[in-house]
């Protein structure tokens, strides 16, 4: 069986003065957790035990019972009236932090030893234990009751005593067939939310190899991620090669425009203020804005990809490897923009991977080599061109492709996406070839017509296909206008994404 975990976040509605209770509960939780972190630090052997054994050992050390009336480090000296289940949740939080700290520390020590053995200078700082504690209090059974889809009773610390508080819950409903874990209280801005881990158990999907080699009807969702208008182009194809659907997920130009504006502002602010203090983040607000938008777009796009794949009953989602970030020339905002667009592709992959897994789909990646230059039908080299230009040469980032060999004509990113899907299939059908064959180098020099591939590629000794692929991709394509010229377009997901700052 496989297990997938997601988190359900719901807004809590309560009287304004009760906010102080939530804060007091969190504060107490963190005080108890910090205390147990100290206890663990003083008794490091605890970390060699299992969580259950460690819990028992830590309670013995801190909690007075009839059998052990005088614990070594009594919790009661630090915090009184801590209910058993609240204490246990805090112990687990402290154990988690302590285990993580101890792992980091031993990794650091190993690195240091290695460097010393080689006689190298080692200047990396050792990890430090947490100085402040800001954990979300987890509420084990006994700290909450009577949970319905719209309300819950929480046992909160008012600052002087424990009190039951009934709060209303709004937000996403709990989906069926999931197991709810212990909820925790989370502060977002000035408001308190309830966070509940949801566990779903399902039969582990068969390996990709098995799915591809044993069932011709296995559906694969192949995704071409871009940094131009179409952030993602997805196609569904079966193992035996039938193409079933395509989805264009747009919004790239708007996010690039938004980012450019913010980066421009940062550049102007920097010019005004002059030198930036080293190690100090400037324009915090603007950076945060860019990050938030990038992250939510990555979530939206990845959710769309998985939704599309699920809709068409795909069981495998395949991307291409990202390659390296190629440096761009140009203004500060241009360089920054392409760098962030590249990072966003990575985030989209990471998010799509876990979202797909939650739906029982597996994710894979194939070599990005020449995916845009290969014809999805006959695997020869294609011509890539702008709508208004003759169908020849190779213009990086242009929206259209034509295969001179077989006459295939279509959208360039859709073609690339189909090639990506085919690479996954060929990987398992011809196990001797780990990587798909790339067209011959000599064959590839068909970019006559004076069309520049890109500046960076030219300056190198030999033009790498990767560079050609990633550079200059954010020029304004005319994809929407030429869609009509495509052979087939069966997308049923709206092309445009709504950006969160627009709503």
Q: How far is the CB of 375 from Zn ion (least distance, A)?
A: 3
Q: How far is the CB of 488 from Zn ion (least distance, A)?
A: 16
**What is d(CA 402, CA 380) in angstroms, rounded to the nearest whole number?**
11
| Cβ nearer to Zn ion, comparing 413 with 456 | 413
**What is d(CA 388, CA 68) in angstroms, rounded to the nearest whole number?**
85
E strand or H helix at 432: none
Number of residues that bind Zn ion (CB under 5 A): 7
| Cβ nearer to Zn ion, comparing 301 with 403 | 403
Q: Is 227 exposed, middle or buried, given 0-12, 13-18 or 19+ CB atoms closer than 10 A?
A: buried
Q: Are 267 and 273 in contact (CB under 8 A)?
A: no
Q: How far is the CB of 424 from Zn ion (least distance, A)?
A: 19
Q: How far is the CB of 472 from Zn ion (least distance, A)?
A: 24
> Which part of the chain contacts Zn ion (CB under 5 A), choosing from 73-81, 287-295, 400-408, 418-426?
400-408
**What is d(CA 221, CA 24) in angstroms, rounded to the nearest whole number?**
48
> Which part of the chain contacts Zn ion (CB under 5 A), choosing from 80-88, 228-236, 406-414, 423-431?
406-414
Tokens of 485: 């010229």
- Residue 100 bridge partners (DSSP): none
| Cβ nearer to Zn ion, comparing 370 with 467 | 370
Query: Is 98 among the residues that bind Zn ion (CB under 5 A)?
Result: no
DSSP 205-242: PPPHHHHHHH-TT-EEEEEEE-SSS-SEEEEEEETT--
Measured CA to CA in angstroms, residue 252 lies from 257, 307, 341, 413, 440 at distances of 8, 19, 9, 14, 33
> Which part of the chain contacts Zn ion (CB under 5 A), choosing from 73-81, 178-186, 235-243, 397-405?
397-405
Tokens of 321: 């490897």
Alpha-carbon dihedral angle through residues 414, 417, 421, 424, given to the nearest 10 degrees: 160
| Cβ nearer to Zn ion, comparing 154 with 419 | 419
Q: How far is the CB of 378 from Zn ion (least distance, A)?
A: 3
Among positions 223, 408, 453, 479, the unique one binding Zn ion when judged by CB under 5 A: 408
> Which part of the chain contacts Zn ion (CB under 5 A), choosing from 331-339, 402-410, 415-423, 442-450?
402-410
Among positions 12, 169, 375, 454, the unique one binding Zn ion when judged by CB under 5 A: 375
| Cβ nearer to Zn ion, comparing 212 with 418 | 418
Among positions 232, 290, 381, 403, the unique one binding Zn ion when judged by CB under 5 A: 403
Q: How far is the CB of 415 from Zn ion (least distance, A)?
A: 9
| Cβ nearer to Zn ion, comparing 136 with 415 | 415
By CB under 5 A, the residues from 313 to 342 that bind Zn ion are none
| Cβ nearer to Zn ion, comparing 247 with 403 | 403
A 10 A CB-CB count for 418 gives 25
| Cβ nearer to Zn ion, comparing 266 with 375 | 375
A 10 A CB-CB count for 1 gives 6
Q: Is 16 exposed, middle or buried, given 0-12, 13-18 or 19+ CB atoms closer than 10 A?
A: exposed
| Cβ nearer to Zn ion, comparing 42 with 405 | 405
Q: Is 482 exposed, middle or buried, given 0-12, 13-18 or 19+ CB atoms closer than 10 A?
A: middle
By CB under 5 A, the residues from 377 to 396 that bind Zn ion are 377-378
Q: Are 469 and 372 in contact (CB under 8 A)?
A: yes
Among positions 85, 325, 406, 451, the unique one binding Zn ion when judged by CB under 5 A: 406
> Which part of the chain contacts Zn ion (CB under 5 A), choosing from 118-126, 157-165, 181-189, 405-413?
405-413
Alpha-carbon dihedral angle through residues 283, 289, 291, 296, given to the nearest 10 degrees: 180
Q: How far is the CB of 489 from Zn ion (least distance, A)?
A: 19
Q: How far is the CB of 232 from Zn ion (least distance, A)?
A: 24
Which residues of the chain form contacts with Zn ion (CB under 5 A)?
375, 377-378, 403, 405-406, 408
């Amino acid at each position: 069986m496989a297990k997938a975990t997601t988190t359900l976040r719901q807004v809590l509605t309560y009287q304004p003065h009760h906010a102080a209770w939530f804060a007091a509960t969190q504060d107490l939780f963190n005080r108890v957790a910090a205390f147990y972190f100290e206890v663990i630090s003083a008794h490091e052997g605890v970390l060699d035990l299992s969580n259950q054994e460690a819990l028992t050992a830590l309670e013995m050390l801190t909690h007075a019972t009839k059998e052990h009336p005088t614990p070594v480090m009594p919790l009661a000296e630090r915090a009184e009236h801590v209910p058993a289940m609240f204490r246990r949740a805090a112990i687990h939080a402290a154990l988690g932090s302590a285990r993580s700290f101890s792992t980091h520390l031993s990794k650091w020590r190993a690195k240091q030893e290695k460097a010393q053995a080689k006689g190298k200078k080692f200047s990396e700082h050792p990890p430090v234990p947490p100085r402040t504690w800001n954990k979300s209090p987890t509420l084990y059974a006994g700290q909450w009751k009577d949970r319905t889809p719209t309300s819950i009773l929480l046992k909160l610390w008012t600052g002087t005593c424990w009190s039951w508080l009934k709060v209303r819950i709004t937000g996403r409903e709990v989906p069926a067939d999931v197991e709810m874990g212990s909820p925790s209280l989370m502060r977002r801005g000035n408001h308190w939310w309830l966070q509940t881990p949801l566990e779903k158990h399902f039969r582990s999907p068969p390996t990709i190899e098995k799915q591809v080699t044993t069932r011709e009807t296995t559906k694969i969702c192949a995704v071409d991620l871009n940094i131009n208008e179409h952030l993602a182009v997805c196609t569904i194809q079966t193992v035996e090669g039938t193409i079933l659907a395509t989805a264009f997920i747009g919004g790239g130009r708007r996010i690039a425009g938004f980012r450019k504006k913010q980066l421009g502002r940062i550049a102007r602010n920097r010019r005004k203020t002059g030198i930036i203090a080293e190690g100090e983040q400037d324009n915090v607000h603007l950076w945060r804005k860019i990050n938030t938008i990038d992250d939510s777009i990555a979530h939206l796009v990845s959710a769309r990809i998985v939704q599309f794949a699920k809709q068409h009953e795909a069981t495998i989602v395949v991307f291409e490897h990202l390659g390296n970030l190629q440096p761009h020339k140009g203004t500060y905002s241009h360089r920054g923009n392409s760098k962030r667009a590249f990072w966003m592709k990575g985030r989209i992959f990471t998010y799509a991977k876990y979202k797909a897994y939650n739906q029982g789909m597996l994710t894979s990646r194939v070599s990005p080599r020449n995916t845009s230059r290969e014809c999805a039908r006959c695997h020869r080299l294609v011509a890539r061109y702008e709508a208004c230009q003759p169908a020849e040469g190779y213009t990086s980032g242009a929206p259209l492709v034509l295969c001179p060999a077989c006459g295939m004509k279509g959208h360039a990113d859709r073609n690339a996406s189909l090639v990506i899907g085919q690479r996954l299939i060929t990987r398992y059908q011809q196990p001797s070839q780990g990587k798909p064959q790339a067209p011959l180098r000599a064959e590839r020099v068909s970019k006559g017509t004076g069309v520049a591939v890109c500046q960076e590629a030219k300056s190198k000794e030999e033009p790498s296909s990767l560079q050609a692929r990633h550079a200059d991709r954010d020029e304004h394509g005319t994809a929407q206008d030429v869609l009509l010229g495509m052979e087939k377009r069966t997308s049923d997901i709206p092309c445009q994404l709504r950006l969160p700052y627009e709503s």
